[in-house]
Structure 1
C-alpha cells in the first residue's frame, strides 16, 4: 500500500512544469513577504518610537535572513511540492504535518478575503463607494487571482513578475522623489520615548517579514532548485529589506507619520510624486501589492 501511495504521488507530480527560474522565484518571494504592511506599518512604528523605529526595521531585516535561508536550503535539498508539509512530516511525523498543512490552508481561506477587503478599502479611500461596492471590488480582486492561477504556472509567473516590477518601481519612485524633503533634524531626538518602544515596534512589524516559507510549496516547479533557491533568497531578502527600510526612513525623515491616521503617512509621501492624486496612487499600489501577495500564496497552495 505504501509503495502504491508513493507511485500515486509520483504520478500526480511528474506533470508539474519546471517553469520557475531565478527572476520568477524572486518575484514570488518578494510578493509573498512584501504585503500591505509597507503602506501602514512604517507610519505606525514611527508614531510609537519616533526615529528610533528605524532600528527595529534594520534589526528585523538582518535577522530575517537566517529564517529565509533555512527554508530556501531545505527546499534546495529536497524540492518537493509539499513544502512546509513535507518538512514537518520529515521532522515530526504525519499527524503534525497534517495539522500544519490544514493551518496553512485555513490561513488562506480565512485571511484571503480579509486581505482583499483591505485592498478594496484603499480603493474606497480614493474613490468613495458604498459598503456593497467595496465588497464587489474585493470579490473582483480574488476572482482575478483564481483566473490567473487557473491558467497555470507559466501565466502566473508572468503576471507575478509584472506586478512585482510595478510595485518596486512605484515604491522606489516614491522614495526617490521624496528624498529631497528628508531633513536630518527630523531624526532628533532619536529616542523620544526611550528604548522600550523599539521592542514594541519590532513586535509590531515582525509579521511583515513572514512569507519566505511560502515559496517552498512550489519547490518542485523550480527549473534549477539547487542553484536558484540560494540566489533568489539573497536577492529577495536584500530587496524586501531595502524597500522596508527606505520607506521607513522617508516616513521618518519627512515627518509624514505626523500627518495623522495609519493610511495617511504613505499617502502623504506618495503625494510628492503624484500631487493631488496621491490617494489614487496609494490605492493602485495597495491593489497591486495585495493582488501579488494573494497570487503568490494561491500559487503555493
Structure 2
C-alpha cells in the first residue's frame, strides 16, 4: 500500500498537459483574453529588443583583451552556440504557440515538476535581469545629461545602498516607464519597442560608419595574438550577449499567426543581432588597438571621440545606449509577465497574475506587481553576484527546451510543426550539451545562489502550487 501511494505521488509530480489542451486555453485569463495583435515584424523586434542592450556597449572591454582582433570570430562562435538552442525554440514555438515559453514546453513534455522548475528559473532570469539592466540605465543617463546639460544625478540617487548611494531612483524610473507602456496593451508596447529598437540599431550602424573612417590595417595584426584558447574564452564571455532571442516565444498568445511567425521571429532576430555584433566588433578593433580595450567599459564611446575628435559623438552614443537599455527593460518585463500569466492560469502561482483587462487585453495587476518588485529591487538592493545567477537560470531553461524537442518528437511524431530543427536529434542534443557545459563554466558562488533559489522554489511548489494545480484538480 505504501509503495503504491509513493508511486502515485511520484507520478503526480510528472503529470503532463496535452498540447491540444494548452493551445485551446490560449489567450484566456481571469476576466478577459489576450489580444492577437502582433505580426512577425513586432515579434522580431521583441526578441531583438531583449537581446541587443547593455552587452554590446560594454562587453567589448571584456572580450577583446581575451581574443584580440579575432573577437569577431568569438562573436560568430557564440552566435553558433546560441543557434542550436534557437533552432529548438523555433520548433517548439511553432508547435506549441502559447505564452510561457520554455515553461509551457516543459509542461507538455517533461511534466509539472520540471515545468515548475523551468518557470522558477525564468522568474529568476527575467526578474533579476530587469533590475540589473535598470541599474545600468542610470549610468548612461548621467553621461547623456552631463554631455548635453552639464548636470549629473547625485550618486545618492543613482546607486543602491552599499554601492555608494541611498536609493537608485533612475533604476526605478525606467522600470516604471516600461510599466506604463505595458499597461496600454501588447500592441502599444510593441510599437514603442519597435521605435526604440530602430533607434538603437541606427546608433550602432552610425558607430560602424564613424569607426570605419578610423580603421588602420595594422590594428588587425596579429589577428589571433592569444591563440584559439583566447578566442574560445572570449566566446564564453560573449555568449550571454545573445540571451534574449527567446523573448518572442513568450508572446505566443498575442501573435496573429503564431505557428508561422514565432519561428521566423526567433531565427530572424538571432541573425540581425549576430550581424550587428560582428560589424561593431570589426569596426571597433580596426579603429583602436586591441590592447587599449583592457578595462574599458565605454570602448565604443572612446572610439567615437578618438576618431572624430569631438565629444558630441560620444554623447550621441550615450543617447542610443539610454534607448537601448530602456528597450531591454520593456521587453524583458513583458516576458516576465507572460510567464507568470501562464503559470497562474495553471494554478501554480496566485490567480491575480492571470487577470486580463477586458478592453485592452493588458495584464494590469500582473504588470504593476512585477514592475514594482523589480523596480524596488533595482533601487534598494545591491545585486552583486545575484545578477550573475540569471546566467545559470537562462542556461538551465535552454537545456530543458532542447530536451523537450527530443521528447515531443518521440511522443508526438505526427503532430503538425511549422518548423523543424534540422539534423534531428543532433541539433537539440548538441544544444543541450553546450548549455550544460556553459553552466559548469560558471563560478561556484553562482551555483550557490542558484541552489538556494531552487530550494525556495520547490518549497513554494509543494506548499502552494502542487495543491492548487488545475491539472491535479481535473484528475489528470
Q: Would you call these one fold, judging by a TM-score over 0.5?
A: yes
Residue aligning to 2:91: 73
Say if 2:203 is the partner of 1:143.
no
Map 1:1-301 → 2, pairs under 5 A: 11-12=28-29, 15-126=33-144, 127=146, 128-134=152-158, 135-255=168-288, 257=290, 258=292, 261-271=295-305, 272=307, 275-300=310-335, 301=337
**In structure 2, C-alpha distance between the alignment counterparts of 1:29 and 1:155, rounded to whole Å:** 16
Contact 2:27 2:254 in 1 (8 A): no
Q: Aligned pair in 2 of structure 1 residues 91, 129: CA closer, same or farther (>3 Å)?
A: same
Query: How much does 1:10 deviate?
Result: 6.7
Q: Deviations over 1:11-41 (max 9, x none)?
A: 4287111111011011101012112110111
Structure with more contact order per residue of length (Cα contacts < 8 Å, sep ≥ 6): 1
Residue aligning to 2:375: none
**In structure 2, C-alpha distance between the alignment counterparts of 1:8 and 1:31, rounded to whole Å:** 28
RMSD (Å) for aligned C-alpha atoms: 2.4
Query: How much does 1:8 deviate?
Result: 7.7
Q: Aligned pair in 2 of structure 1 residues 273, 100: CA closer, same or farther (>3 Å)?
A: farther
**In structure 1, C-alpha distance between the alignment counterparts of 2:316 and 2:44, rounded to whole Å:** 24
TM-score by length of 1: 0.91
Q: Deviations over 1:156-190 (max 9, x none)?
A: 01001000010111110110122121122211011
Q: Aligned pair in 2 of structure 1 residues 8, 172: CA closer, same or farther (>3 Å)?
A: closer
Query: How much does 1:278 deviate?
Result: 3.5
Contact 1:33 1:211 in 2 (8 A): yes
Q: Tell me the matched-pair count.
A: 299
TM-score by length of 2: 0.59
Contact 1:270 1:281 in 2 (8 A): no
Deviates further, 160-169 or 37-46: 37-46
Task: Give unmatched runs, 5+ long, in structure 1.
Answer: none
**In structure 1, C-alpha distance between the alignment counterparts of 2:183 and 2:79, rounded to whole Å:** 34
Bigger helix share: 1
**In structure 1, C-alpha distance between the alignment counterparts of 2:278 and 2:25, rounded to whole Å:** 46
**In structure 2, C-alpha distance between the alignment counterparts of 1:226 and 1:11, rounded to whole Å:** 18
Deviates further, 253-262 or 91-100: 253-262
Query: How much does 1:88 deviate?
Result: 1.3
**In structure 2, C-alpha distance between the alignment counterparts of 1:10 and 1:264, rounded to whole Å:** 43
Deviates further, 119-128 or 73-82: 119-128
Contact 1:26 1:236 in 2 (8 A): yes
Deviates further, 265-274 or 62-71: 265-274
Greater C-alpha Rg: 2
* Secondary structure, counterpart of 1:81 in structure 2: coil
